[in-house]
């Protein structure tokens, strides 16, 4: 049976990716060049779905479109660098985001939609972050300067397919759900299928 690795995420504007790529440059002296997230792959994950039967992708699209209709766009700010795992040898270096409440509500909406389709619900509180590094050697991020307070818009959610390649995963958008906070379009569907 045909399966796809899928996840729902907020895409980042190119300007935000460039800022985060500059942050990565400051981390190279600590962690080296290996383990950086490619700027074109940077995103804010809302829900990782895993290996999903291809026939379910359409159901996810329909359900997400309907559930996200009332969500209005908002802005998030880059806050600070986070180290997940051992602070002296993190497994992930990420950037935290504020304010937490609107993005947490959006993640909960997405989780609820997916839960109704049979996906396991999240048990941990959603912690919004953008992964910038998966370090291959120890180091700390405490002394790295960070451009806190820079904001970016959250105006859509995208259903991505993750394709594993020898040099890392490639993310392909399958459908886009604009956050309009309004009623259905006259055609009855506000999602944009991209495949």
pLDDT at 19 over 50: yes
pLDDT at 1 over 70: no
Average model confidence (pLDDT) across the chain: 88
* Per-residue model confidence (pLDDT) at position 191: 43
Higher pLDDT, 91 or 166: 91
* Per-residue model confidence (pLDDT) at position 185: 37
Q: Which residues partner with 89 through β-bridges?
A: 86
Please tell me the distance from the alpha carbon of residue 124 to that of residue 166, in angstroms, as a whole number: 31
Please tell me the distance from the alpha carbon of residue 74 to that of residue 94, in angstroms, as a whole number: 21
* Per-residue model confidence (pLDDT) at position 111: 95
Is 129 in contact with 83 (CB distance < 8 Å)?
A: no
Starting at the edge strand that comes first in sequence, how are the strands of the sheet with 156-165 ordered? Answer: 43-53, 3-11, 156-165, 168-178, 192-193
Mind listing the domains of the chain with CATH numbers? 3-31+39-74+99-127+154-193 (3.90.1140.10)
3-state DSSP assignment of residue 151: strand
* Per-residue model confidence (pLDDT) at position 186: 35
* Per-residue model confidence (pLDDT) at position 164: 80
Query: In this predicted model, what pLDDT tens digit does every residue of 117-159 receive, in sequence order?
Result: 999 999 999 999 999 999 999 999 988 889 888 999 999 999 9
pLDDT at 168 over 90: no
Is 41 in contact with 5 (CB distance < 8 Å)?
A: no
* Per-residue model confidence (pLDDT) at position 193: 46
Helix 100-116 to helix 54-67 angle, to the nearest 10 degrees? 130
* Per-residue model confidence (pLDDT) at position 63: 87
Is 34 in contact with 24 (CB distance < 8 Å)?
A: no
Query: In this predicted model, what pLDDT tens digit does every residue of 71-116 receive, in sequence order?
Result: 999 999 999 999 999 999 999 999 999 999 999 999 999 999 999 9
- Which residues lie closer than 8 Å to 137 by C-beta, 6 or more apart? 31, 32, 89
Residue by residue, DSSP assigns 61-113 as: HHHHHHHTTTPPPEEEEEEEEEEEEETTEEEEEEEEEE-HHHHHHHHHHHHHH
Per-residue pLDDT, averaged over 48-56, amounts to 89
Q: Of 86, 69, 99, which is closest to residue 178 (Cα–Cα)?
A: 69
* Per-residue model confidence (pLDDT) at position 125: 92
């Amino acid at each position: 049976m045909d399966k796809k690795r899928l996840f729902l995420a907020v895409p980042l504007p190119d300007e935000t990716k460039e800022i985060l790529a500059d942050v990565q440059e400051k981390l190279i002296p600590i962690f080296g060049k290996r383990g950086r997230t490619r700027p074109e792959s940077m995103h804010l994950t809302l829900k990782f779905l895993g290996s999903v039967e291809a026939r379910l992708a359409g159901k996810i699209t329909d359900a997400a479109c309907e559930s996200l209709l009332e969500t209005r766009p908002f802005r998030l700010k880059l806050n600070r660098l986070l180290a997940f795992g051992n602070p002296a040898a993190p497994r992930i270096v990420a950037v935290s985001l504020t304010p937490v409440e609107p993005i947490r509500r959006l993640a909960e909406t997405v989780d609820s939609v997916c839960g109704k389709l049979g996906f396991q619900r999240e048990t941990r509180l959603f912690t919004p972050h953008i992964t910038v590094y998966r370090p291959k050697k120890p180091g700390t991020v405490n002394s790295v300067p960070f451009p806190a307070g820079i904001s970016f818009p959250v105006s859509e959610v995208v259903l991505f397919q993750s394709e594993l390649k020898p040099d890392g995963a490639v993310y392909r958008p399958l459908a886009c759900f604009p956050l309009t906070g309004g009623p259905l379009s006259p055609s009855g569907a506000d999602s944009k299928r991209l495949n």
